[in-house]
């Protein structure tokens, strides 16, 4: 038997996982800044953490804990630049679209969830917004000022990095002197130390999104919301904090500093960082204009194929995107769906299938730092064994039930790479589907008669004409079957 181990970015080792509070595992994942449509990078991140959460829930059921998953929506505040310059990204987008900043945030929030839903990403238990938690953020800043970890300067409040021992321990950037020597140009005089970061910013003229605070009108600094909201909903010490690798520094190191300085307690027990998506070997980036927009991608590929593609690599590995690679995944994905469909429709016989050993291997893989590629490889080994058994006849009632339960649990509930039975079997629902079924039954009957009388010209014609219209016929031992085929 294996137990869940998680690779902790802070210690750079795999550690056994147990929630700090019995009965509840807490996880916080950095959410999107909603000023544009989601792209493949978002998909990789949130699909990966979706499986993390699903597996935690699975394990938690046996271990007796529930999971609370918080993922924020950043709808305000970040500058485009840490040198205290630039414009709020949401405000900028609002100006370009000539709408209210909050309109921008709401529009892209909806767009984000729409895409995530299609990818089968389950919604977090709590999805707090930064603008909805300004008082909590101000309170945190006040606490840091009171305890001497932060100072006010001309309406801005900065975190005093020198007041917190171990700043930079997550990213390994602990030597502030060395960091500064090669540092940026013109340092702001407001800061005592160039590494100090903003907790609260005074609103400059023309800034729309601003709030009243003890330091005047302003807006929160760009690391603050995660600390404030994570601690509000999950407690001073949370079990797991996830995010993209590029956020290790400065974002997560700043979160650690401001949270631990405020509470005197460890902020996060397990840090998890997922790797980047590259396109033809280079990272997707705004300046490179090589973003893969999800809505566009969904036009070419089933969202579940994208999910499957993502889970075929490990979350800590970079994922290189190319259409060739996704097409290869699509073939594999369809093979899995076909096998599942075949199992559901199969007649019972006497065949046996040892399902338990596959279940154990999948469990071991997922327990080993959520190794989804290995889990999927085991599922394919299982598919092979399953098809082999079905070729020889059918499974007995117990084996069939076990096989279905296994696929439903692991491929379905945990990995989320199985289409629903309704979708697989009917394709559509309602009257038109019923009509289609009836018409197809007639066509298959006619074709069967043609084949019986060796009129292969007619039988092939029926098959070819249907294929042209996206319906594929397969002759099996049990008779002909049909299915709709995409693209």
Partner RNA sequence: GGUGAAGUGGCCGAGUGGCUAGGCAGAGGUCUGCAAAACCUCGUACAGCGGUUCGAAUCCGCUCUUCACCUCCA
Scan residues 349-408 and list those touching RNA (CB under 7 A): 368, 371, 373-374, 376-377, 380-381, 383-384, 387-388, 390-391
Task: Pick out residues in 105-144 that bind RNA (CB under 7 A).
Answer: none
Kindly tell me which of 142 and 365 has the beta carbon lying closer to RNA. 365
Q: How many residues bind RNA (CB under 7 A)?
A: 87
Kindly tell me which of 19 and 227 has the beta carbon lying closer to RNA. 227
* From candidates 177, 206, 331, 469, binder to RNA by CB under 7 A: 331
Tokens encoding 260 = 């631990």
Q: What is the closest distance, in whole angstroms, from the C-beta atom of residue 330 to RNA in the complex?
A: 8
Q: What is the closest distance, in whole angstroms, from the C-beta atom of residue 409 to RNA in the complex?
A: 19
Kindly tell me which of 267 and 482 has the beta carbon lying closer to RNA. 482
Q: Which residues pair with 70 in a beta bridge?
A: 28, 126
Binding part of the chain for RNA, among 56-64, 152-160, 205-213, 327-335 by CB under 7 A, reads 327-335
How far is 454 from 387, CA to CA, in rounded Å? 30
Binding part of the chain for RNA, among 125-133, 165-173, 343-351, 431-439 by CB under 7 A, reads 165-173
- Cα 101–chain centre separation: 26
Binding part of the chain for RNA, among 147-155, 185-193, 210-218, 472-480 by CB under 7 A, reads 472-480
* From candidates 95, 143, 327, 421, binder to RNA by CB under 7 A: 327
Task: Pick out residues in 266-295 that bind RNA (CB under 7 A).
Answer: 274-278, 281-287
Q: What is the closest distance, in whole angstroms, from the C-beta atom of residue 33 to RNA in the complex?
A: 4
Kindly tell me which of 62 and 177 has the beta carbon lying closer to RNA. 177
Kindly tell me which of 143 and 316 has the beta carbon lying closer to RNA. 316
Kindly tell me which of 33 and 156 has the beta carbon lying closer to RNA. 33
* From candidates 335, 393, 396, 424, binder to RNA by CB under 7 A: 335
Per-residue HEC secondary structure of the chain comes to: CCCCEEEECCCCEEEECCCCECCEEEEEECCCECCCCCEHHHHHHHHHHHHHHHHHHHHHHHHCCEEEEEECEECCCCCCCCCCCCCCHHHHHHHHHCCCHHHHHHHHHHHHHHHHHHCCCCCCCECCECHHHHHHHHHHHHHHHHCCCEEEECCEEEECHHHCCCCCCCCCCCCHHHHHHCCCCCCCCCCCCCCCEEEEEECCCCCCCCECCCCCCEEECCCHHHHHHHHHHHCCCEEEEEEEHHHHHHHHHHHHHHHHHHHCCCCEEEEEEECCEEECCEECCCCCCCCCEHHHHHHHCCHHHHHHHHHCCCCCCCEEECHHHHHHHHHHHHHHHHHHHHHHHCCCCCECCCCHHHHHHHHHHHHECCCHHHHHHHHHHHHHHHHHHHHCCCECHHHHHHHHHHHHHHHHHHCCCCCCHHHHHCCCCCHHHHHHHHHHHHHHHHHHHHHHCCCHHHHHHHHHHHHHCCEEEEEECCEEEEEECCC
Binding part of the chain for RNA, among 213-221, 345-353, 394-402, 474-482 by CB under 7 A, reads 474-482
* 3 lies in the binding site for RNA (CB under 7 A): no
* 319 lies in the binding site for RNA (CB under 7 A): yes
Kindly tell me which of 19 and 353 has the beta carbon lying closer to RNA. 353
Here the contacts of 335-341 (C-beta below 8 Å, separation 24 or greater) are 335/380, 335/383, 336/308, 336/379, 336/380, 336/383, 336/411, 336/417, 336/418, 337/418, 337/419, 337/424, 339/383, 339/386, 339/387, 340/407, 340/411, 340/418, 340/419, 340/424, 341/424, 341/425, 341/483
Binding part of the chain for RNA, among 153-161, 244-252, 343-351, 393-401 by CB under 7 A, reads 244-252
* From candidates 60, 101, 244, 412, binder to RNA by CB under 7 A: 244
Q: What is the closest distance, in whole angstroms, from the C-beta atom of residue 357 to RNA in the complex?
A: 11
Binding part of the chain for RNA, among 257-265, 296-304, 312-320, 431-439 by CB under 7 A, reads 312-320
* 191 lies in the binding site for RNA (CB under 7 A): no
Kindly tell me which of 324 and 442 has the beta carbon lying closer to RNA. 324
Over the window 13 to 52, marking each residue x when it contacts RNA by CB under 7 A and - when it does not, the resulting string is -----------------xxxx-------xx-xx-------
Binding part of the chain for RNA, among 204-212, 309-317, 399-407, 429-437 by CB under 7 A, reads 309-317
* 182 lies in the binding site for RNA (CB under 7 A): yes
* 77 lies in the binding site for RNA (CB under 7 A): no
Q: What is the closest distance, in whole angstroms, from the C-beta atom of residue 155 to RNA in the complex?
A: 20
* From candidates 460, 470, 478, 484, binder to RNA by CB under 7 A: 460
Q: What is the closest distance, in whole angstroms, from the C-beta atom of residue 444 to RNA in the complex?
A: 12
């Amino acid at each position: 038997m294996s137990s869940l181990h998680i690779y902790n970015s802070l210690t750079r080792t795999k550690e056994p996982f147990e929630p700090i509070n019995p009965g509840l595992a807490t996880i916080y994942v950095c959410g999107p800044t909603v000023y544009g449509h989601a792209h493949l990078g978002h998909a990789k991140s949130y699909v990966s953490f979706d499986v993390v959460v699903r597996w935690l829930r699975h394990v938690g059921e046996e271990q007796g804990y529930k999971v609370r998953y918080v993922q924020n929506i950043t709808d305000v505040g970040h500058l485009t630049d840490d040198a205290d310059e630039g414009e709020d990204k949401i405000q900028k987008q609002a100006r370009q679209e000539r709408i209210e900043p909050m309109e921008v945030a709401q529009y892209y929030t909806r767009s984000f969830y729409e895409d995530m839903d299609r990818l089968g990403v389950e919604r977090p238990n709590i999805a707090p917004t930064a603008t909805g938690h300004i008082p909590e953020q101000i309170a945190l800043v006040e606490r840091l000022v009171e305890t001497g970890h932060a100072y006010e300067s001309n309406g801005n409040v900065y975190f005093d990095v020198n007041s917190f021992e171990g700043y930079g321990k997550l990213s390994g950037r602990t030597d502030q002197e060395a960091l500064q020597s090669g540092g940026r140009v013109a340092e702001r005089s407001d800061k005592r130390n160039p590494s100090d970061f903003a907790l609260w910013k005074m609103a400059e003229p023309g800034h729309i999104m601003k709030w009243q605070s003890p330091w005047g009108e302003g807006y929160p600094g760009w690391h603050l919301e995660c600390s404030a909201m994570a601690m509000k909903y999950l407690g001073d010490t949370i079990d797991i904090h996830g995010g993209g690798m590029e956020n290790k520094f400065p974002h997560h190191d700043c979160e650690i500093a401001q949270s631990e300085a405020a509470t005197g307690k460890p902020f996060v027990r397990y840090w998890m960082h997922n790797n980047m998506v590259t396109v033809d070997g280079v990272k997707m980036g705004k300046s490179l204009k090589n973003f893969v927009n999800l809505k566009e991608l969904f036009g070419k590929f089933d969202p579940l194929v994208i999910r499957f593609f993502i889970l075929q690599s490990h979350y800590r590995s970079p994922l290189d995107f190319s259409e060739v690679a996704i097409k290869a995944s699509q073939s594999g994905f369809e093979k899995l769906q076909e096998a599942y469909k075949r199992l559901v429709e199969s007649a019972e016989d006497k065949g046996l299938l040892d399902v338990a050993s596959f279940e154990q291997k999948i469990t071991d893989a997922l327990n080993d730092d959520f190794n989804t590629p290995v889990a999927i490889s085991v599922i394919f080994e299982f598919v092979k064994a399953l098809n082999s058994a079905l070729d020889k006849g059918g499974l007995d009632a117990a084996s069939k039930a076990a096989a279905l339960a296994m696929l439903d649990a692991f491929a379905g509930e945990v990995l989320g790479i199985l289409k629903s039975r309704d979708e697989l079997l009917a394709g559509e629902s309602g009257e038109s589907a019923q009509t289609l079924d009836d018409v197809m039954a007639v066509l298959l009957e006619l074709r069967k008669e043609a084949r019986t009388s060796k009129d292969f010209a007619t039988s092939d014609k029926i098959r070819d004409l249907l294929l042209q219209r996206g319906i594929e016929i397969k002759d099996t031992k049990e008779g002909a079957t049909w299915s709709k085929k995409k693209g």
